[in-house]
Chains A and B, each alone.
Chain A
Amino acid sequence: KQEVTQIPAALSVPEGENLVLNCSFTDSAIYNLQWFRQDPGKGLTSLLLIQSSQREQTSGRLNASLDKSSGRSTLYIAASQPGDSATYLCAVPGTDSWGKLQFGAGTQVVVTP
């Protein structure tokens, strides 16, 4: 069974620093890897989806890389801002017909002014 791990569980950085969030998965036979953001008490917002054939995906200050062979993805957030404070979750779909998402536990990020 696919296991998705995110380390660290929590991270605090001063404003302006670059954020580096890690996600690892045990089964490299993935179709894609997805990053989500969750604000306290709210639903999840999709940030990036990297297909298995891609090495990275970018959206504004966000860049996600994918290394299937080593079972790792990294989300980089450049020049962090207090508004980036949230929990970031990664997820991979299972290889069954339904592609049910397997989520990591998330990394809680605090960006201090």
Chain B
Amino acid sequence: DVKVTQSSRYLVKRTGEKVFLECVQDMDHENMFWYRQDPGLGLRLIYFSYDVKMKEKGDIPEGYSVSREKKERFSLILESASTNQTSMYLCASRPANPFTDTQYFGPGTRLTVL
């Protein structure tokens, strides 16, 4: 079975802190994704990576950056956390073909910024 793990299930940070969210997948997938999920707004794509060291902006990249130094690990970075970044963050991975393959999601990180 594909496994996608996220470093924390719950995280509480202060405004202005630098925050790292880590995601690791064990199936050698080329593509990885970061989403945030908010009530009434649904799932929104922040960034995705189609290969090591490669990244593309999603729909809402402002205030975020990402890093993918190894194939299995994709990090989401909040350079200076703000209260409007309080949300559920979901990581996903997928094999290379977007037209025949589904995405596999991690359990999520509930981030609260005070």
B4: chain A residues within 8 A (beta carbon): 43
Which segment, of A10-18, A58-66, A70-78, A101-109, faces chain B? A101-109
**In the complex, A103 Cα to B102 Cα: how many Å?**
13
A41: chain B residues within 8 A (beta carbon): 88, 108, 110
Q: Mark B56-96, 1 if CB is under 8 A from A, else 0.
A: 10100000000000000000000000000000101010000
Closest Cβ of chain A to B33, distance in Å, is 8
Closest Cβ of chain A to B94, distance in Å, is 9
Q: Which of B42, B106, B107, B110 has the most CB of A within 10 A?
A: B42
**Inter-subunit contact A31/B105 (CB<8 Å):** no
**Inter-subunit contact A45/B105 (CB<8 Å):** yes
> Which residue of chain B is the closest to A6 with respect to CB atoms?
B42
A105: chain B residues within 8 A (beta carbon): 42
Question: How many residues of chain B get a CB closer than 8 Å to chain A's CBs?
Answer: 23
Question: How many residues of chain A get a CB closer than 8 Å to chain B's CBs?
Answer: 23
**In the complex, A101 Cα to B99 Cα: how many Å?**
10
**In the complex, A95 Cα to B3 Cα: how many Å?**
27
Closest Cβ of chain A to B71, distance in Å, is 17
Chain A residues numbered 78-93 whose CB sits less than 8 Å from any CB in chain B: 89, 93
**Inter-subunit contact B50/A98 (CB<8 Å):** yes
**Inter-subunit contact B99/A103 (CB<8 Å):** no
**Inter-subunit contact B48/A42 (CB<8 Å):** no
Query: Given A32-B99, A51-B100, A93-B99, A43–B106 Cβ distance below 8 Å?
Result: yes
**Inter-subunit contact A44/B90 (CB<8 Å):** yes
**Inter-subunit contact A46/B102 (CB<8 Å):** yes
A49 within 8 A of partner (CB): yes
Interface pairs (9), CB distance under 8 Å: A31-B100, A34-B102, A43-B108, A44-B105, A98-B48, A98-B56, A100-B45, A100-B48, A101-B103
Inter-chain pairs besides A89-B43, A98-B56, 4 sampled, C-beta below 8 Å = A43-B4, A98-B31, A100-B45, A104-B42
